[in-house]
């Protein structure tokens, strides 16, 4: 039964709650269709909302026009107003007016007890069935925030938030912000509210996308939008409000509040008569805007205008019995009429197939061939115009497909992704893993365009997937989503993000399963590095152009504090927080290879037991250990946990485990990469060696060909032998590089002479390249071995010398195999060799 079918009294007895990006009442979403009410002229006793008969008529008209929420922005209303709202099935957003007391943070003399004032206001409304939420305050002036500093204001609001929660623990609490203090960091709020007055649609929608990224996994509400009909005309007001409502809900917001119900408005001790934002006049005569708002609210959340393209939802599973029932239940409740669900059972040996067969879904069972192949199996069987992929340990929001389709209908995006949020109730360890690094996240190039969308929540136009040949079957466990995103973009496609297209994604529920997952991701990274070398740096890390979003990111410690863009004299209408880039050392300590450095320093410190000068490595070892530990502790401290009201001991346990996960994650990724990467795998022709020195070779061809095509032929030949090939950039004096691992590589340069009649002379110059890091390590160990021998510390000298010799041997061997691979590929791809 939907909420709208319940009696008003029964509705009002259910307290609102937050679940992901939306507000819920019971099991139903509550899309806030609101309007602000007041402020009005107070009576002789200073009371504002005393005319119950007027309030009753206004609320009845609001309910008749599709409103479900009334916002009281500047004054905490009497309980009688809440009673009237309950009679009409309306929820009330109660203002606590914290902005009126912020000046006492500056002038503390004779300051009242602000917490007690807020507590009394909350007590007057606490537990009322019509209560939707408390708004701590409304638009603390930017100049006051600038005077006090944003951190002090943030602490002030958090303190008041805790006061509200102590008085009414089950309540929802927000703060009504605006663009001029957008930079305030308020992670404790249950949901975010912004007052935004933009009269042009494109800037408005662009700013909504930015605010959604600020809100993250919490709901976003537009707490004030509107237009002055006095200056713009009543018809223009109606038109603007119509598209503002549509744009707000299309952007995935949980609701909005229109300013204002009536032109009657009292502020600063006087009637305000130089504007007319109301939907009705002072006499409550409806304007055209009221009808426009009513019609727009009828289509909440999204009106697809009859366009409902077919969608195929594909779930690939292998032994997913533990979580797949949640997935099936979520898919069975999807609220989109034109879709099919296809499960690809990739050779499961548990009860997965039995569970899926309880539901009315199409099932395709195959041998276990891996995730990439399973995704293609589903794609080949799909009938939909849009292909949406969901993991078997995830379940969708009921409007998931509606939001995805809306994004496709309103854009030219080839693919669309959305948030994947950890569901509540999965337990202590899952909560910590959700705040650990390595979970699926999206990477954004802008507030709306994505560079990467994770495979647990991604959708593509079917023809776009077919153009690139579907998924690469070599990715059996992970990495398939990164590969398909890069290939779609390489083919000219653009990816987008819809912040409301939400799926709930169970995190791992044990440290062991988390370690296994991260090792698997490390193996996928190594595969991606070989296929997309230009997308990686020399250490094998992805070179994302965009910004990574999501919980659990380990953050480098900045050497400088974040800066706020205020504009000259604090005049900027949109003021943002900018985080400075961390220093090089602090960034390096986030890399998995940092732990190789720790291992080297640990070994050198142990040698100090045999040769005392090596004890000098001990302080560097402590520093190398301290940096990731400090970063892990800080990251766990900054994390937001959905489980609240912990005891101090429980909080310590949560942060300790989260910190531990931050430390072990890069080790797991490194271990996975080392098991799969090019410098540990043996090629079939591993004994093919060529002494690495500068070599020049020439070839005569009777068939003319484009130089780029010749280089591509050599490149493909190398890739067919599993060689790691990198193309030269715009400023490089080399064309191809074949890497032999971390220690060395071989580069080649091609020149072509045209000799007429389609004949060509092709020259290649190839030479070895020693990685500076490996050269430094070899020099270090060799020097230490010599110094130890001079000091007659023979055991230490032998160990150090052996390490240097192993590094030298490994460098020469890998360089020799890379040179042999390159020369063989050139010989195969070119004409008659003449020198």
What integer is the mean pLDDT of 391-413? 94
What integer is the mean pLDDT of 801-818? 88
What integer is the mean pLDDT of 714-741? 83
Q: Reduced to 3 DSSP states, what percent helix, strand and coil does the chain have, rounded to the nearest 5?
A: 40, 20, 40
What integer is the mean pLDDT of 701-705? 87
Strand 270-271, strand 311-317: pairing: unpaired
Residue 1, pLDDT > 60, answer: no
Any idea how long the chain is?
835
Residue pair 436/662 in contact (Cβ under 8 Å)? The answer is yes
Residue pair 582/597 in contact (Cβ under 8 Å)? The answer is no
Question: H or E element: which one contains 248?
Answer: helix 234-250
Residue 257, pLDDT > 80, answer: yes
Residue 11, pLDDT > 60, answer: no
What integer is the mean pLDDT of 430-434? 90
pLDDT of residue 392: 95
Residue pair 228/275 in contact (Cβ under 8 Å)? The answer is yes
pLDDT of residue 334: 95
* pLDDT cut 90: percent of the chain above it: 57
**Residue with structure tokens 């744009």?**
247
Q: Mean pLDDT score of the chain, rounded to an integer?
A: 88
What integer is the mean pLDDT of 652-665? 91
For residue range 604-634, what is the model confidence (pLDDT) as tens digits? 999 888 889 889 989 989 998 998 899 899 8
For residue range 440-498, what is the model confidence (pLDDT) as tens digits? 888 888 888 999 999 999 999 999 999 999 999 999 999 999 999 999 999 999 999 99
Residue 7, pLDDT > 50, answer: no
Q: What does the alpha-carbon distance between residue 51 and residue 773 come to, in Å, rounded to a whole number?
A: 79
For residue range 422-431, what is the model confidence (pLDDT) as tens digits? 998 888 899 8
Any idea what DSSP says for residue 812?
A: H
For residue range 323-333, what is the model confidence (pLDDT) as tens digits? 999 999 999 99
* pLDDT cut 70: percent of the chain above it: 91
- Cβ-based burial of 682 (10 A; exposed 0-12, middle 13-18, buried ≥19): exposed
Residue pair 393/430 in contact (Cβ under 8 Å)? The answer is no
Residue 740's pLDDT band (cuts 50, 70, 90): confident
Q: What does the alpha-carbon distance between residue 690 and residue 822 come to, in Å, rounded to a whole number?
A: 10
pLDDT of residue 585: 60
Strand 495-497, strand 695-701: pairing: unpaired
pLDDT of residue 261: 95
Strand 442-444, strand 547-549: pairing: antiparallel
Q: What does the alpha-carbon distance between residue 696 and residue 662 come to, in Å, rounded to a whole number?
A: 49
For residue range 228-256, what is the model confidence (pLDDT) as tens digits? 999 999 999 999 999 999 999 999 999 99
**Tokens standing for residue 224:** 């004030």
pLDDT of residue 565: 67
pLDDT of residue 685: 44
Residue 321, pLDDT > 70, answer: yes
pLDDT of residue 683: 42
Residue 680's pLDDT band (cuts 50, 70, 90): very low
Q: What does the alpha-carbon distance between residue 104 and residue 711 come to, in Å, rounded to a whole number?
A: 72
For residue range 269-316, what is the model confidence (pLDDT) as tens digits? 677 778 899 999 999 999 999 999 999 999 888 877 778 999 999 999
Higher pLDDT, 690 or 11: 690
pLDDT of residue 307: 80
For residue range 540-558, what is the model confidence (pLDDT) as tens digits? 666 667 677 777 677 666 6
pLDDT of residue 528: 86
Higher pLDDT, 15 or 547: 15
3-class secondary-structure state, position 457: strand
What integer is the mean pLDDT of 354-366? 95
pLDDT of residue 546: 67
For residue range 67-109, what is the model confidence (pLDDT) as tens digits? 999 999 988 999 999 999 999 999 999 999 999 999 899 888 8
Alpha helices in 251-370 (DSSP H): 288-298, 324-332, 352-356
């Amino acid at each position: 039964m939907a909420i709208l079918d319940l009696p008003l009294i029964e509705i009002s007895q259910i307290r609102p709650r937050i679940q992901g990006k939306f507000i819920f009442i019971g099991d139903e979403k509550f899309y806030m269709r609101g309007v602000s009410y007041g402020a009005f002229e107070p009576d002789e006793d200073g009371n504002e909302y005393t005319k119950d008969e007027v309030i009753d008529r206004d609320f009845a008209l609001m309910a008749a026009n599709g409103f479900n929420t009334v916002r009281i922005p500047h004054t905490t209303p009497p309980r009688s107003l809440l009673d009237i709202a309950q009679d009409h099935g309306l929820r009330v957003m109660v203002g606590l007016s914290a902005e009126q007391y912020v000046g006492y943070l500056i002038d503390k003399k004779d300051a009242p007890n602000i917490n007690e004032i807020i507590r009394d206001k909350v007590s007057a409304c606490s537990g009322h069935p019509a209560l939707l939420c408390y708004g701590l305050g409304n638009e603390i002036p930017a100049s006051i925030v600038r005077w006090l500093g944003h951190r002090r204001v943030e602490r002030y609001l958090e303190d008041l938030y805790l006061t509200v929660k102590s008085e009414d623990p089950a309540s929802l609490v927000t703060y009504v912000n605006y663009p001029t203090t957008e930079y305030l960091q308020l992670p404790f709020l249950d949901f975010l509210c912004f007052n935004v007055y933009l009269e042009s649609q494109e800037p408005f929608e662009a700013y909504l996308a930015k605010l959604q990224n600020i809100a993250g996994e919490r709901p976003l509400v537009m707490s004030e939008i509107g237009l002055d009909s006095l200056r713009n005309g009543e018809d223009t007001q109606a038109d603007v409000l119509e598209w503002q409502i549509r744009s707000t809900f299309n952007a995935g917001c949980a609701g909005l509040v229109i300013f204002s119900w009536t032109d009657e408005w009292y502020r600063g001790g006087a009637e305000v008569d130089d504007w007319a934002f109301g939907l009705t006049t002072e006499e409550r005569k409806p304007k055209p805007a009221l009808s426009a708002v009513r019609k727009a609210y009828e289509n909440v959340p999204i009106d697809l205008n009859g366009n409902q393209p077919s969608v195929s939802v594909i779930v690939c599973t292998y032994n997913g019995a533990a979580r797949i029932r949640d997935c099936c239940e979520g898919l069975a409740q999807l609220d989109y009429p034109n879709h099919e669900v296809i499960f690809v059972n990739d050779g499961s040996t548990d009860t997965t197939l039995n569970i899926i067969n309880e539901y009315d879904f199409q099932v395709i069972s195959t041998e276990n061939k891996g995730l990439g192949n399973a995704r293609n199996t589903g794609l080949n069987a799909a009938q939909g115009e849009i292909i949406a992929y969901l993991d078997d340990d995830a379940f969708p929001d009921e409007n998931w497909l509606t939001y995805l389709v809306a994004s496709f209908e309103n854009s030219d995006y080839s693919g669309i992704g959305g948030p994947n949020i950890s569901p509540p109730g999965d337990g202590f360890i899952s909560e910590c893993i959700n705040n650990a690094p390595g979970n699926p996240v999206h990477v954004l190039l802008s507030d709306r365009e994505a560079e990467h969308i994770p495979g647990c929540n991604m959708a593509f136009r079917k023809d776009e997937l077919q153009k690139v040949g579907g998924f690469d079957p070599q990715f059996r466990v992970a990495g398939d989503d990164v590969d398909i995103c890069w290939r779609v973009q390489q083919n000219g496609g653009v990816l987008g993000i819809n912040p409301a297209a939400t799926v709930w994604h169970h995190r791992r529920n044990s440290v062991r399963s988390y370690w296994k997952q991260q090792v698997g991701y490390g193996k996928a990274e190594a595969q991606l590095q070989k296929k997309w070398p230009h997308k990686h740096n020399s250490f094998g890390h992805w070179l994302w152009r965009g910004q990574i979003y999501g919980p659990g990111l380990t953050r480098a410690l900045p050497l400088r504090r974040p800066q706020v863009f205020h504009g000259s004299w604090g005049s900027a209408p949109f003021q943002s927080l900018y985080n400075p880039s961390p220093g090089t050392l602090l960034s390096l300590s986030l890399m998995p290879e940092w732990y190789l450095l720790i291992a080297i320093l640990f070994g050198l410190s142990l040698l100090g037991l045999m040769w005392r000068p090596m004890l000098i490595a001990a302080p560097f070892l402590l520093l190398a250990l301290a940096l990731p530990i400090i970063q892990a502790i800080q990251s766990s401290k900054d994390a937001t946990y959905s489980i609240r009201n912990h005891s101090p001991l429980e909080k310590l346990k949560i942060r300790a485990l989260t910190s531990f996960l931050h430390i072990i994650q890069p080790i797991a990724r490194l271990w996975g990469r080392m098991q799969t990467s090019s410098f540990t795998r043996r090629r079939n022709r591993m004994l093919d060696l060529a002494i690495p020195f500068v070599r020049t070779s020439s070839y005569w061809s009777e068939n003319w060909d484009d130089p780029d095509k010749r280089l591509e032929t050599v490149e493909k030949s190398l890739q067919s032998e599993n060689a790691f090939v990198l193309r030269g950039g715009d400023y490089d004096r080399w064309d191809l590089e074949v890497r032999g691992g971390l220690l060395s590589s071989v580069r080649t340069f091609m020149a072509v002479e045209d000799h007429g009649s389609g004949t060509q002379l092709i020259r290649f110059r190839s030479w070895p390249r020693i990685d500076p890091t490996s050269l430094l390590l070899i020099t270090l160990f060799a020097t230490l071995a010599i110094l130890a021998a001079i000091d007659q510390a023979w055991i230490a000298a032998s160990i150090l010398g052996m390490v240097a010799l192993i590094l030298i041997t490994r460098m020469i061997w890998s360089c020799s195999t890379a040179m042999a691979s390159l020369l063989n590929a050139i010989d195969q791809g070119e004409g008659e060799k003449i020198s």
